[in-house]
Structure 1
């Protein structure tokens, strides 16, 4: 079982952490495009000089590199060290002191050889400077993006939290991780989180050729590296002179080519010759020690524990995907990047948290993505110019730059043109040939059709819904609290935004998922970036109580038979059962007591009779099936990195979204109930969301990727799967397990749940993390049982108006961050029969008994 340590009264730990966080921020200081990193935090790595990512709760800075590149704080660049045969490398057995850095750079890059002046040291240090100053942030800066639309003034209400017992569940890290315990500190008042500065708007693509692109393409860096090798090794002198001449010739050729089209370097005679000479020069400057990356999880900046793992790495990268049995931790974890190319990381607890490092070889053009790349969850490496890599990189910059998030208007069309790096990227095709993308921003503009028009969202569904819908708008910022997030209420009967609960009195931290009790008195919400389940008065929004349940609780539901709460401890080992009203913890059930692995159970689902809970064990690729009567568990293997669960209304089968497997797993809970692709019925089966997707070339039909929530309609007619990567909702027939069609959603498509439609039928409410809007889907508009006509009935902007009641002033990212969804009245089988008076009258007999 997980260890639980008692703590102080509710809120006291947060106030201590705020003071510590203020101290850290004072030391680090604000970052800009030309910011200097804090001491001991290096966004630029050379050999053993490490890169540090501080993992935080801050929007877009979840992997904070200490530098702002292209509007993202989550990107770092490392230079692949190349050693001459006579170079002495400083010891890397201990920490590298500031006084060592100059010598280290000289040592690993050639400055110490033969008394050469400049040499590879000049090439590398100029190259790094060019990357961070000239190549990425220097030159003629693009115009600033327009400021976000002003947030409407809202009516405020107050709240008073009650004290509650607290518990803590923090598994210790293993492998290369080290743990810390936060020190006690005096209390300090919360500082309002400022709105992030606007990121640069995309510069227009060059109208002519690539004139003067020797700097932009990094040719100066390559030229300096070539000269350094020639100066430090007499045998390489002739090759270096030849390379200098070819670089000049290549520059002239590239000047006449468009910026938004990849260039096959070997289709150019000069490219073939230059590649051969550079390969020969590389023999005189072999690859040196690997680049170190340290992930630091400090409770001063991250109230929840974190578990950084690999998402992308070059083929051959040692120990990828860097997963440890101990799971999430406070402390540090260090890995080694052993190959040149693109490395991307995510947090296995909150997998939209992303960081990336490009390990660049100075003897190549542009920034290296590597030749072939591994994508976590897929067995086969792909060339670095594969469609799946382009989509993941595009998503990275949409996610990690808050100024790239989608902001819809109710009254006018809005242009959306996410800013991507205007940098040269070296990729390789399926044949292993080098392909240079002169300007990634220009290339992605044409590949992904940017800029796009976000239409005015002034069409609401013609038929109203019943009751209310609550959506966790997790990225919203408020004046009276430090942490992000609120819970937004939609009045489904008139499609207005009625209320926002920000809970500044408890500094609510990223509320993730909600549910209600059988009388609809309370609204339950989990603080995903902390360790509490919060209980609110559903009508007033006032805080009733908090209770600490364990690290990073994600989803909460009730048992329809007992009204007890069931909470999944996402960063831990347990499913936690609480008394009705969330007054106390009544039981903990370890979902993987024998493996020795921290399983990270995320989004569970409870059966219609309350006797079974199914949860995804993210780290073990299993469905855990919990018998709530006995507290025993059993497991079924599913796809890679399962993250969310649903059930059919008869509880005969469960579905799990395989987030990195790009599939959905069906698991029978009694007799065989899962349809297979050939029409049979089996204990388990897989819905392949990549059936119409080629990872090298792209989609040819409906497809999905990075699937999260996947609710089954209360009548069992349809399942909707929210796909983050493809920005689609897959409409699936649970009887056949076949994808019927795709429907569009927005950036960061994430959550979904069903609510009642007035007069019969159901609406599904879809949330989007990196958009301020929600889709309302009618899965069967004419109620004929055929879901092929499922459609988006309307969209809503979630930012609110002057009439929206709130307990704090909304200052940034209004309506953004949609994640968990709950519609009230609860219309799922088992809960629908218990709908209280005053609500029952609004439902049809079929909605009260959805499967008879």
Structure 2
């Protein structure tokens, strides 16, 4: 059962699941006449019958491409929801620049800090203050209403006077400090005057948003869904039971406020729209937001809304990706649009954020100092680890991504496979055969599994398996491959070596589309579990017979793992902010000293959506991969929202602590530590480093001392062997993680020859102590 909403949040009636590709747009409930506007090519401005169109693309940072580039962010759009019977409105690029303050980049940017390192007062902008706070556009709307409606003229004159007073009262306030408008002498009167004017300018038709998935722009199928919407927005969360598609789909935005979207297949793809009413101060986020997580309804001036917005800009703007230097510290200062935002607090008071960039600098402590990229563990690992650096850009191919090999005996980047000869497309996850001859690699944005010679990096073959294959593992014993078809409804079994398709097994015996993602295979190779993002459940597949049963999980389960004895499995509930343990046979999930069939582990036990995380306490959010260590003593979960790795004791299902990772924390898998024990290797999508975690440094079986043992940059060096050259984003996009030799129960015992000689007896027999 999913955890209840934590303090600081209300719940909304439960709707169908949804995961959204998020793009940010600004829509204005414009003071403009509703008139027929001729259709045009894609533009980042929508008004009434002219829609916003997001082209969902494979290109880095253009995953929800609206045609707008705002401070390096191309997942933004602008729309106008007109008010009937008025004049003016957002219809030109110049007016758009004014609304988003891109025409004030120098002056508004200086609001963050002055030469003394102090945050200046708003009055330092002088005559630009009105433009910086969008008071000029509000004034224009007020005048337009007064000029076109005689009955509205007195209210318009009053509002115009109050706007002048309002600007004067703001001059002594800090740029990074939220302003409770009700606390200002003129605040309540101004809000009342603007509300009076709204009676004379009735809202027109809603804003239309088109999502276009063109095979020429996106080789992968997509399935956009809502992540955030204003309370009362019709149709939220906009998900469709038919699943991923090529073509076009449209939705209607019916309320002013913040809308955010993600892709249910590739949920780091984000987009957003702000539908703004010019008869308010600043760009409207709305009074309350519905968040597609735990059915939350929260005030817009809440930690979770601001944390998600900050995460949005740090993901969708490649200029905000964290760059680590190998041998020195580096400064990281995220870029946020310097725009005024109108939110509402828990008491219902309007709160003006004068400058979003300055406010987020204060709230999230920018700029930050990134540590030295290379911090090598004192004890080496065994063998190698492969990281899918999925967004690396390579010369000679259109698609992005590579597989990066790290020699963990000396902590060097040994090889990169970009495979430009086959245009390898967004390599997402890997596995290998029992003899370690091959590297099996999924192309997440395509329909193929690639096979490479592991030692030379040479391409061997590709096999078509289905749309958007995500993860691959082998069945122990038979060495057959199992691939999950993320944009479909099945797993595909291939012959050893990936030579041909043997069979396809649906994960949905009842027929609905489930979108399986990161599956796991049992130690004996007889059971496969798929987490199904569309249906909030997991499919348990009996491989000998192909029969399937369904188990309930939390919201949007995106990844899975198993205990080494295969008695239970775990899912990372991406939007449920939880981990679900489910027994595969008899009750095997620990719950306060008892064994139960299923157990939910709450990642938000120390988090209030309104006020934020409890200081010093573990906090996770938007968890992805979560393997259990081969000896069953630790579970590690990678969290995107909190940039932490959650450490869980799977023997008790209690959270022990969390450890830091970096931007876009995503993949984890365990490999052997020299002399005994295990390292967990952690990948990060939006930084160029991986972390190395030692879950039991002193080997006493207690994981309280789990720590980050080291870190390594994934950029190539002069000694790195490559099959081409990198054109951009070197080391970025960390997703799938494959340590070799394999040390999970069932696979560890298959190690032979020199690989076997490098492992201790306990590493070869992770849960059979009697063998040692």
TM-score of the alignment, normalized to the shorter chain, above 0.5 = yes
Partner-residue secondary structure (3-state), 2:54: strand
Q: Matched residues in 2 for 1:46 and 1:378: separation? A: 33
Which residue does 2:8 correspond to in 1?
Answer: none
What RMSD over aligned residues (CA atoms) do the two structures have, in Å?
Answer: 1.7
Where do residues 716-735 of structure 1 align in structure 2 (5 Å cutoff)? 716-735=632-651
Q: Matched residues in 2 for 1:201 and 1:314: separation? A: 29
Correspondent of 2:601 among 683, 687, 706: 687
Which residue does 2:551 correspond to in 1?
Answer: 636
Partner-residue secondary structure (3-state), 1:237: helix
Which residue does 2:3 correspond to in 1?
Answer: none
Which residue does 2:325 correspond to in 1?
Answer: 409
Q: Matched residues in 2 for 1:824 and 1:804: separation? A: 18
1:599 aligns with 2:494: no
CA shift at 1:208, angstroms? 3.2
1:325 aligns with 2:325: no
Correspondent of 1:391 among 304, 307, 310: 307
Deviations 1:34-88 (A, max 9, x none): xxx994313111223200000000011100011111211101122231113xxxx
Correspondent of 1:216 among 115, 132, 139: 132
Which residue does 2:610 correspond to in 1?
Answer: 696
CA shift at 1:143, angstroms? 12
Partner-residue secondary structure (3-state), 1:593: coil
Partner-residue secondary structure (3-state), 1:497: strand
Which residue does 1:166 correspond to in 2?
Answer: none
Preserved contact between residue 112 and residue 175 of structure 2 (Cα < 8 Å): no
Q: Matched residues in 1 for 2:536 and 2:233: separation? A: 23
Which residue does 1:352 correspond to in 2?
Answer: 268
Which residue does 1:14 correspond to in 2?
Answer: none
The alignment of Structure 1 onto Structure 2 pairs a total of residues equal to 723
Correspondent of 1:499 among 408, 415, 433: 415
Which residue does 2:120 correspond to in 1?
Answer: 207
Q: Matched residues in 2 for 1:133 and 1:491: separation? A: 52
Which residue does 2:541 correspond to in 1?
Answer: 626
Deviations 1:701-738 (A, max 9, x none): 21100000001000000000000000000000001111
Preserved contact between residue 202 and residue 420 of structure 1 (Cα < 8 Å): no
Deviations 1:780-824 (A, max 9, x none): 000000000000000000012010000010121110000000100
Q: Matched residues in 2 for 1:635 and 1:56: separation? A: 33
Deviations 1:181-207 (A, max 9, x none): xxxxxxxxxxxxxxxxxxx99886852
Which residue does 2:54 correspond to in 1?
Answer: 53
Which residue does 2:74 correspond to in 1?
Answer: 73
Change in CA separation of 1:143 and 1:303 when aligned onto 2, cut-off 3 Å: farther
Which residue does 1:300 correspond to in 2?
Answer: 216
Correspondent of 1:609 among 501, 504, 524: 524
Preserved contact between residue 671 and residue 679 of structure 2 (Cα < 8 Å): yes
CA shift at 1:523, angstroms? 0.1
Partner-residue secondary structure (3-state), 2:147: helix
Q: Matched residues in 1 for 2:425 and 2:113: separation? A: 36
Q: Matched residues in 2 for 1:600 and 1:233: separation? A: 53
Unaligned runs of 5+ in 1: 1-36, 85-109, 111-119, 145-199
Q: Matched residues in 2 for 1:467 and 1:399: separation? A: 32
Partner-residue secondary structure (3-state), 1:269: coil
Change in CA separation of 1:431 and 1:543 when aligned onto 2, cut-off 3 Å: same
Correspondent of 2:232 among 272, 291, 316: 316
CA shift at 1:287, angstroms? 1.2
Preserved contact between residue 769 and residue 818 of structure 1 (Cα < 8 Å): yes
Q: Matched residues in 2 for 1:227 and 1:809: separation? A: 58
Correspondent of 1:648 among 536, 554, 563: 563
Q: Matched residues in 2 for 1:71 and 1:38: separation? A: 27
CA shift at 1:569, angstroms? 0.1
Partner-residue secondary structure (3-state), 2:129: coil
Deviations 1:246-283 (A, max 9, x none): 00110111122111010000101211100000011101
Q: Matched residues in 1 for 2:625 and 2:112: separation? A: 33
Q: Matched residues in 1 for 2:628 and 2:383: separation? A: 20
Partner-residue secondary structure (3-state), 1:487: strand
Q: Matched residues in 1 for 2:442 and 2:164: separation? A: 59
Partner-residue secondary structure (3-state), 2:763: helix
Q: Matched residues in 1 for 2:322 and 2:165: separation? A: 43
Deviations 1:633-655 (A, max 9, x none): 00011100000000000000000
Where do residues 534-573 of structure 1 align in structure 2 (5 Å cutoff)? 534-573=450-489
1:808 aligns with 2:721: no
Q: Matched residues in 2 for 1:373 and 1:525: separation? A: 40
Q: Matched residues in 1 for 2:389 and 2:50: separation? A: 39
Deviations 1:757-800 (A, max 9, x none): 00000000000000000000000000000000000000000012
Which residue does 2:22 correspond to in 1?
Answer: none
CA shift at 1:322, angstroms? 0.7
Query: Normalising by structure 1, what TM-score?
Result: 0.83
Which residue does 1:367 correspond to in 2?
Answer: 283
Q: Matched residues in 2 for 1:223 and 1:503: separation? A: 57
Q: Matched residues in 1 for 2:536 and 2:459: separation? A: 36
Q: Matched residues in 2 for 1:201 and 1:214: separation? A: 14
Where do residues 751-830 of structure 1 align in structure 2 (5 Å cutoff)? 751-830=667-746
Q: Matched residues in 2 for 1:399 and 1:698: separation? A: 20
CA shift at 1:142, angstroms? 8.0
Which residue does 2:747 correspond to in 1?
Answer: 831
Q: Matched residues in 2 for 1:51 and 1:691: separation? A: 39
Change in CA separation of 1:360 and 1:249 when aligned onto 2, cut-off 3 Å: same
Where do residues 499-538 of structure 1 align in structure 2 (5 Å cutoff)? 499-538=415-454
Q: Matched residues in 1 for 2:409 and 2:170: separation? A: 59
Preserved contact between residue 473 and residue 521 of structure 2 (Cα < 8 Å): yes
Q: Matched residues in 1 for 2:217 and 2:465: separation? A: 20
CA shift at 1:455, angstroms? 1.3
Deviations 1:648-677 (A, max 9, x none): 00000000000000001000001001122x
Which residue does 1:746 correspond to in 2?
Answer: 662
Where do residues 652-667 of structure 1 align in structure 2 (5 Å cutoff)? 652-667=567-582
Q: Matched residues in 2 for 1:811 and 1:137: separation? A: 29
CA shift at 1:310, angstroms? 0.5
Preserved contact between residue 100 and residue 337 of structure 2 (Cα < 8 Å): no
Range 705-714 or range 37-46, more displaced: 37-46
Which residue does 2:21 correspond to in 1?
Answer: none
